[in-house]
Amino acid sequence: MSLEDKIAQKLMPDIQGWQVGVASGGTCAKFPPDVIVTNSEIDTYLKKYKFGGVILFALNLRDTTAGIRLVDEFQKSNAVNNKIPLMISTDQEGGLVTRLGLGTMFPGNMAMAATGNLGYTSQAAAIMAKELKSVGIQVQFGPDVDVNINPANPVIGARSFGDDPSSVSLNTAAYVKAVQEQGTVSCAKHFPGHGDTATDSHIGLPLVNKTRPQWEAEDLPPFKAAIAAGVDMIMTAHIQYPNLDPTQLVSPKTGETIYMPATLSRTIQNDILRGELGFEGVTVTDAMNMAGIVQQFEAVDAVGRLFTAGVDIALMPIPVSCAPNIDNVQRVIDHIVDLVNDGTIKMKDIDDSVKRILKLKMKYGILKLDDTPVEQKIATGLANVNTAASKATEKQISDDAVTLVKNDPVTGIPFKTTPQSNVVIFTAVTSYTSTFTQIMTDLNADFNYSVTSFQGDVEYNPTYKALVDSATHIIIGSELGANTPAITGSGVIDQGASTTTYRFNFPRAVLDEAIAQNKPVVLLSQRVPYDIGYYPDAPTAMCIYGVKAITNGVYGMPNLKSGISAILGITKPKGKLPVQIPDTLGKILYERGTGLTL
């Protein structure tokens, strides 16, 4: 392999959107059309560079048949000039982060941990891995093994197995083994740990100021468990960890002094991960287009720095979404060649890195192009994706994860309804209204109901009070905002916070009214369970650990249906909290392990 070919083997771009027909020197659209089928320009792109792999996203994988054709076409384009097939990857963690549009979604890590059943984690991980493999995807960017220590974490939250390092470690090992037993690569993320951040690395560069002993006690155990379980790949985190690497530098873009981000830190990625922990597998960055990197570094420079740090694969190294931008990749390759020639990057590091990648491909049979006819591949995929058996497993896990932390003995669940009952549902996200309606239809609700959204800066007013007055039963679907959490880094809830998805004063007003009228009311935490702490006087409170709207006729997550089933008495809640829930003063309101059964 030439040096240029070795560098390309270390690149894993995305091909999410593509604007066809942009003239040389032109500018790609900010939001180009989704790539669901390939085109001649993409074909040229994949023939020109001998990439090591490609990452796919939900917009590429909305339809199983189309997704399989796309993967097949990508591999065939690559094979024209590259003897080594692409390693196709995606994020199919389960729950809030899923890409396979018609796949089995499962309720997510925190929900699975709430069941207390490691067998469920293994089952879910195995099914998702089998589905990915059946559509031609060899790398599962999961599990997320971050320990969600910080209730204010805006990006991990319910993607984590919880805030207990021991429990997270056990679930991590079960997940990793199950994925790899299906012949799919498992990738533990995000090293050295993204669970104690208060900034989303998609929109900024987080700083974690904990000591080395704290890190070893809280964040490190799941990564050690993953390595012990034989994990083949570990993903980096775009975060500053000054007590792991105190190196400071002036940001080339902002001019501010920052600590070396973990993704670009040789101390963290080489000395600690490989030297101290003994990890011999492949490392891959989190997406290099995230603000945690691009706000501070130019794309070409960032790739040079991460390869200098010893990371194996640059994920989404530089944007390419139309023909004129294809040469962006050449800029990256030329820069790395220069760094090798001037001794900044050792040739041995490049060789060792490529050997790790090729060894991984050999282990999973990715050194030879799968020449199975595409129609046969489609038949295999359709036979394995979203089967009746996998959906039954998904439902069982989701039902058992529902966690009832408080239940009023008189007005609590299960709701006692009649055909004359009027169940009024308030939900924090507008797109969930149709999902609630579909759930009621699927559950054969034999009573009157209505669904109203309070997303945005909605003030409680007489119209909403009239709904409460008319109700015989009330469900308040609460959800912390994903971008502006209302809990401070110290675990104290900010009572004045307003988020992008809802204001706390609305559910507060509805709850007060329902309590004053002594009406059955359930506070249903739709996502991260920490918002329960804002309403300690809620007569009945339940956590489901995640919800996504119905898309293309498919439930994005099974959790909401399971929660409503429990409220109506169709199923029984069995889950236990995998995290501690603080009240508004930072005092623990509900201990880890809390969970009522009926």
Question: Which one from 72, 163, 200, 286 is the annotated catalytic residue?
Answer: 286
- Reading the block at residue 259, the tokens are 């600590």
From the list 323, 325, 349, the residue with the least C-alpha distance to 336 is: 349
The CB-based long-range contact list for 272-276 (8 Å cut-off, 24+ gap) reads: 272/192, 272/244, 273/191, 273/192, 273/234, 274/310
Report DSSP state, residue 34.
B
Place of tokens 């309590």: 515
Write out the H or E segment, with its range, that includes residue 191: strand 185-191
Nearest to 241 by CA among 224, 258, 222, 227: 258
Tell me if 556 sits within 8 A of 548, measured CB to CB: yes
194: annotated active-site residue = no
Question: Could you give the C-alpha distances from 250 to 70, 237, 261, in angstroms and in order?
Answer: 42, 20, 12
Picking from 54, 159, 143, 57, the residue whose alpha carbon sits closest to that of residue 101 is 57
Task: State how beta strands 422-427 and 473-478 pair.
Answer: parallel
Closest CA to 596 of 411, 399, 410, 402: 402
| Contact yes or no for 227/277 (Cβ under 8 A) | yes
Q: Which of 5, 43, 202, 408 is catalytic?
A: 202
Distance CA 191, CA 262 (A): 8
Q: Which DSSP category does 23 fall into?
A: P
The closest alpha carbon to 560, from 386, 402, 366, 373, belongs to 402
Token duo for residue 203: 């929109």
Convert 356-378 to b/e letters by CB count within 10 Å (16 or more is b): bbbebbeebebeeeeeeebeebb
State how far Cα 256 lies from the chain centre.
30
Proportion of the chain in helix, strand, coil states, percent, rounded to 5: 40, 15, 45
- 371 catalytic, yes or no? no
Residue-wise DSSP of 456-504: BTPPP-HHHHHHHHH-SEEEEEE---SSS-SB-TTS-B-TT-B-SSBBT
Q: Which two tokens stand for residue 502?
A: 């809802």
Residue positions annotated with a catalytic role: 202, 286
